[in-house]
């Protein structure tokens, strides 16, 4: 079986089972928790709940997803863009996020150097979308959020 960003997590399937159980109880046809899990697994194309639980990938919450529109600031410059890459780092708390800006951003802070334009950047951010790297004045390199 292949997975996409639309593949439900185990937590989502469990929530569906809980809702199904409540629905059946209200209609006068109560079912057990196990029966609800089995029915939800069948609805999603799995043979049974154990097969579904084993096949579904573990998910870790991320600040953004590939293909998502985002906004924020990069080196103090506001941007709108598209997330083209997200990689979970080894500590499971940070992500390398690659963003393609709609319009190039001038990343130079010095008038002596002239403008330095970037349209695609990669930054390591935490679950809040704030980079772990900072400028000399303490500002995060990137702040990113869903647009």
Same domain for 79 and 134?
yes
* Number of separate domains in the chain: 2
Same domain for 28 and 78?
no
Q: 3-class secondary structure for 53-73?
A: HHHCCCCCCCCCCCCCEEEEE
Same domain for 51 and 101?
no
Of 13 and 71, the one with more pLDDT:
71
pTM: 0.61
Contacts of 101 (CB under 8 A, 6+ apart): 74, 79, 80, 81, 118, 119, 120, 121
Same domain for 40 and 80?
no
Domain region containing 51? 10-55
The pLDDT confidence band at residue 60, using thresholds 50, 70 and 90, is low
Same domain for 50 and 94?
no
pLDDT of 78 above 80: yes
Tens digits of residue pLDDT in 86-102? 888 877 788 999 999 99
Q: Is 50 inside any structural domain?
A: yes
Please state the rounded mean pLDDT for residues 99-107: 95
């Amino acid at each position: 079986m292949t997975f996409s960003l639309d593949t439900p997590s185990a937590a989502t399937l469990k929530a569906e089972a809980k809702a199904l159980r409540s629905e059946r109880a209200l209609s006068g046809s109560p079912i057990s928790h196990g029966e609800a899990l089995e029915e939800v697994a069948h609805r999603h194309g799995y043979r049974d709940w154990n097969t579904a639980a084993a096949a579904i990938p573990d998910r870790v919450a991320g600040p953004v997803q590939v293909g998502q529109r985002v906004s924020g600031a990069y080196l103090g410059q506001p941007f709108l863009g598209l997330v083209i890459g997200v990689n979970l780092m080894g500590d499971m708390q940070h992500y390398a996020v690659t963003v393609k800006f709609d319009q190039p951003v001038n990343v130079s802070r010095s008038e002596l150097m002239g403008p330095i334009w970037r349209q695609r950047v990669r930054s390591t951010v935490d679950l809040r979308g704030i980079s772990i790297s900072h400028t000399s004045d303490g500002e995060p390199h990137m702040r990113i959020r869903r647009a």
